[in-house]
Amino acid sequence: MIFGDTVTLVRPRVTQDRYGSDVLDYGAGARTVVPGVCVQPRSSTEATTDARDMVTTGWRIYTPAGMDLDVTPTDRIEWAGRTCEVIGEIARWPHPIRPGAVHHCEVDVQKVSG
C-alpha cells in the first residue's frame, strides 16, 4: 500500500525569552497524527571531520490525491521513531480540474545525526 505511513505533525508553541525574542517550544507544541501518507527516501550525506562525524538523511512525504496537509516550515515531523525538521516550503500541487483546490502535497524533511 503506497499511502500506508502515519506521521505526527508537531507544531511548536511560540513563547518569548527574557529579551523578547520568539522561542519555539516543541515539547509543549500541538501534536496531530496524520495517517494515509507516503514517506520515501530523498537523500543522504555524510561529513567526516576531526571534530565529529555527521549524517544528514532526508525523506519526502506525499499525500494522496485530494489531501491537503496543514504543515508549516517551522513544524517537525515524527515518523518511524525519528524526529525530522521540515525543509523549505510545502509544495501544494494545484488540482487539474477543480480551480483553487489542492491535488496533493509534498513535504521535504531531514534528520541530522552526529
Average pLDDT of the residues in 51-59: 87
What is the predicted pLDDT for the residue at 1?
66
| Average pLDDT for the chain | 93
List the grid coordinates of 19.
529579551
Residue 65: which CATH number? 2.40.10.270
Helix, strand, coil abundance in the chain, percent, nearest 5 = 0, 65, 35
| Residue range of the domain that includes 58 | 5-113
Q: Looking at the predicted structure, is the pLDDT value of residue 40 above 90? A: yes
Q: Which amino acid is it at 5?
A: D
Structural domain total, the chain: 1
Q: For the chain, what is the total number of helices (H) and then of strands (E)?
A: 0, 7
Count of residues in the chain: 114
What is the predicted pLDDT for the residue at 109?
98
